[in-house]
Amino acid sequence: ADGKRDVVDPEVRAYVSSLVTALGGSGADEDGRYVLGDDALACLRDLKKWLKLYDEKANRLDVARCLAESNLVGGDLLQILAAWPENATDDRLKSKIALACLELLVPLTWPLDKNSKEMTVNHHRHVPYLEIAQLGYKRSIINFDGARILHTAIRCALPSMAVDMGDQSTRDEGIIKLLLYFVRNIAMIAPPPNVQYEGDEAEISRSATIDAFDYQDVFHLLLTVSSTIGEDYNTQDVVVLDILFHLIKGVDIEKLFLDEKAADNSKMDELVRLRKKEAAMLRSYQTNAPTRHNRFGAMAWLQREDAKMTTISGQAAATDSSRGLAKMDATKKFKPPRRALKGDNGPMDFDTPVHLSVQATKHLRAFVEEFLDSGFNPLFNHIRKAIDREAERVLEYHPRQFFYLISWFLEAERVRRRNKKPSKVQKSAVSEEVDSYSLVASVLNQEMFVTLNRAMDYTFEHKSWQDLSAAMKCFTQILLTVHDMSESPLEDDQEIAENILNRIFYEETTHDRVANITRTYKDQGFGYLDSCTELSHHYLRILEQYSKQNVDLQVRSRRRVRRKKKAARAAGQDDADDDIVDESEGEDTTRAERTSHERKFEFKRFAARFLSQGCVDTFVTFVAYYNDLKSSQLKRAHRFFYRVAFKQEMSVMLFRVNIIALFYKMVKGPEGLDPQSSSYKEWDEFVKQILKKCTRKIQERPELVVEMLFSKINSTAHYLEYGYEKQTVTTK
């Protein structure tokens, strides 16, 4: 533009900027008001044509770049939208102009695809600039002073939304989609990873987005669309899914549901906790820090066999041999090549935690509760059908969002119930109506299990790890919800839960899948590791509880079924094969005893699948992050190792030098667990037990000294553990 060689064809730039100029402007004559140009609508339409016929057709981003440089959004479009007063909604020309603005805003804020194979030189030239420009768009749209831009955008679509679905024209449908895509784009725009945004991040943060959505009635829009999906709307479901995903990904549910006072307290607690953690860290450093200045120059040597010596500098070695060894190790320079983790940092990543302001937390919580009450079932049911049917609008990334959102909302529902409970207990005498789980029932039916199982199989086979991670999260939350349901005071809930658990318990393919996923972890990143350890932990735990379910409970459930059947029979619906009705109480008990015995055996067989070295290694990799893990995560690892070593009596699987070294370090440091933390005690106890067993085993079976270096295959492990070969039946 300034005489230097331009990155954009000068002719294109000339055309586009003349259009932007002709659109209108503000001047001193009009008190700084924005005045539309004579042919503003035609200008807007021309600009749209430029975007479509030049940028899109020729696969360039030149026009978008020119528009970003000429400040079309902040200088013109938003001004025009702001000048469309509420009472002028009937003005045909003005609403047409507003709609034309929206039609420009959507392509301009559209997410830039950086990974496509169709990227040209132009893309590489423009994308970094446009990414920053989009941040600017978002900032001016959600923080616009003069008017509520998002609200105005919704007004553009209101006439179309008011039409019944049957009567909606393609144009109406398109306009609603346009609006939803606009909202999606705004929710999605975020600073790209590794780019430092120069402006105030608070203006475009998630908190700012949520506050704007609340203030500008976007939440109402989302609730309306999602609660009446299938009735008034149809194809818009995936866009709503997209919006919800970008709104809530990474939000911590526990924090969301703390009430304000508790939140204040927890903030203080958080500060205290962090200070304590820091103090513990410093303490452990100080016990190892040199007590004299750094040029004091102590030198120690370590007498090795064959009159060999190793010298170690610094006073650490002089005081403590293990610290001397650590120092000796630390001075080595060689590093074996290591593969990078395959995480995902793009916009579809959901593992990065997000912090919300107090205001935003309040707004989002209100929205989430309303969504659970009205929108959850219709929306997710509708989308599940679309996914099953492989509808054209369902894109590759939608299943991931679908499963992630279900897991998120199910957890939110569980936390909400848990928080409600204390007040319930006080009023229990009144026995108020207890909420059933029907609010989330749409994801607990058999069809959902089919979809989920298929997705887990497919993603596992195709190595799309992030998708699998989302599906695993979903499965975990379904399991936990079902488990909560089985403890519900409502009989119907109990019965449904029991049916589901019963089905899962005998589904060998699912057992195999969960065990396989856990066994084969390799470099998929921490988020995936977290999901798969969480799934296997809860899966084992819930099935174990189910297998232990006492006889009494089963008798009761049989009695319940019988009562139901009797009632059904009385009502005249005769089922041909209900043998249960004619049994007596005594038969019930013996039958129940038999099943409970059977289940115990089944469970043992199932749990044995997790004894492989692969599963142990996965949990070892997980617990190696011990200093960054929450106490619930540490507990998860603890329970697993405890199960392997003591419940299943295969502690040999843990006797490998690196595992022992890790356990030792966790408790004894340096950089171990904080001795004042809640997890420290159980780990200390556990590690001590393991070490005791390990040293005893070495004395008992000297072969273990060598085997401690290696992963053991099952037969070796069995021999080392029990001292005899496992009897295996071989059939020829």
Partner 1 sequence: SKGKSAAALGIDEEIEVTRKPRAPRVKLDEHRLLSKNGIPKLRKKAKNLKFKGKGHEYSDASRLLAFYQLWLDDLFPKARFLDALAMVEKMGHKKMMQSARMEWINEGKPHSGVH
Binding site for partner 1 (CB under 8 A): 304, 310, 321-322, 325, 328-330, 332-336, 656-658, 660-661, 664, 667-668, 687-688, 691-692, 694-696, 698-699, 701-703, 705-711, 716, 719-720
Judged by CB, which is closer to partner 1: 114, or 696?
A: 696
Phi, psi (degrees; rounded to nearest 5) at 509: -60, -40
d(CA 336, CA 338): 6
Judged by CB, which is closer to partner 1: 415, or 660?
A: 660
Say which residues have a Cβ less than 8 Å from residue 602's Cβ, sequence separation at least 6.
Answer: 505, 506, 547
Least distance from partner 1 to the Cβ atom of residue 329, Å: 5
Least distance from partner 1 to the Cβ atom of residue 692, Å: 5
Judged by CB, which is closer to partner 1: 296, or 710?
A: 710
Least distance from partner 1 to the Cβ atom of residue 333, Å: 8
Long-range contacts of 443-452 (CB under 8 A, 24+ apart): 443/380, 443/384, 443/406, 443/410, 443/478, 444/478, 444/481, 444/482, 444/485, 444/496, 444/500, 447/384, 447/388, 448/384, 448/478, 449/503, 450/388, 451/384, 451/387, 451/388, 452/403, 452/478
Q: Where are the alpha helices (DSSP H) in 148-217?
A: 149-162, 170-188, 206-215
Judged by CB, which is closer to partner 1: 560, or 697?
A: 697
Q: Three-state SS across 599-656? A: HHHHHHHHHHHHHCHHHHHHHHHHHCCHHHCCHHHHHHHHHHHHHHHHHCCCHHHHCC
Q: What distance, in Å, lies between the first and last C-alpha atoms of the chain?
A: 83
Q: Three-state SS across 360-376? A: HHHHHHHHHHHHHHHHH
Least distance from partner 1 to the Cβ atom of residue 620, Å: 11
Least distance from partner 1 to the Cβ atom of residue 302, Å: 8
Closest CA to 204 of 222, 182, 188, 215: 188
Judged by CB, which is closer to partner 1: 440, or 720?
A: 720
Least distance from partner 1 to the Cβ atom of residue 639, Å: 21
Phi, psi (degrees; rounded to nearest 5) at 354: -120, 140
Residue appearing with tokens 């667990």: 673
Least distance from partner 1 to the Cβ atom of residue 679, Å: 18
Q: How much is the CA Rg of the chain, to the nearest whole Å?
A: 32
Least distance from partner 1 to the Cβ atom of residue 661, Å: 6
Least distance from partner 1 to the Cβ atom of residue 709, Å: 5
Torsion, Cα 515 520 525 530, to 10 degrees, reads 20
Judged by CB, which is closer to partner 1: 359, or 715?
A: 715
Judged by CB, which is closer to partner 1: 321, or 428?
A: 321
Least distance from partner 1 to the Cβ atom of residue 666, Å: 12
Judged by CB, which is closer to partner 1: 192, or 324?
A: 324
Judged by CB, which is closer to partner 1: 593, or 703?
A: 703
Judged by CB, which is closer to partner 1: 59, or 319?
A: 319
The strand pair at 299-303 and 309-313 is best described as: antiparallel
Q: Under a CB-based contact definition with an 8 Å cutoff, are residues 158 and 98 in contact?
A: no
Q: How many C-beta neighbours within 10 Å does residue 33 have?
A: 10
Least distance from partner 1 to the Cβ atom of residue 142, Å: 49
Say which residues have a Cβ less than 8 Å from residue 568's Cβ, sequence separation at least 6.
Answer: 575
Least distance from partner 1 to the Cβ atom of residue 660, Å: 6
Say which residues have a Cβ less than 8 Å from residue 315's Cβ, sequence separation at least 6.
Answer: 290, 291, 292, 296, 298
Judged by CB, which is closer to partner 1: 405, or 720?
A: 720
Least distance from partner 1 to the Cβ atom of residue 277, Å: 23
Judged by CB, which is closer to partner 1: 132, or 704?
A: 704
Closest CA to 404 of 349, 473, 452, 459: 473
d(CA 91, CA 98): 11
Q: How many C-beta neighbours within 10 Å does residue 381 have?
A: 19
Judged by CB, which is closer to partner 1: 303, or 431?
A: 303
Q: Three-state SS across 547-559? A: HHCCHHHHHHHHH
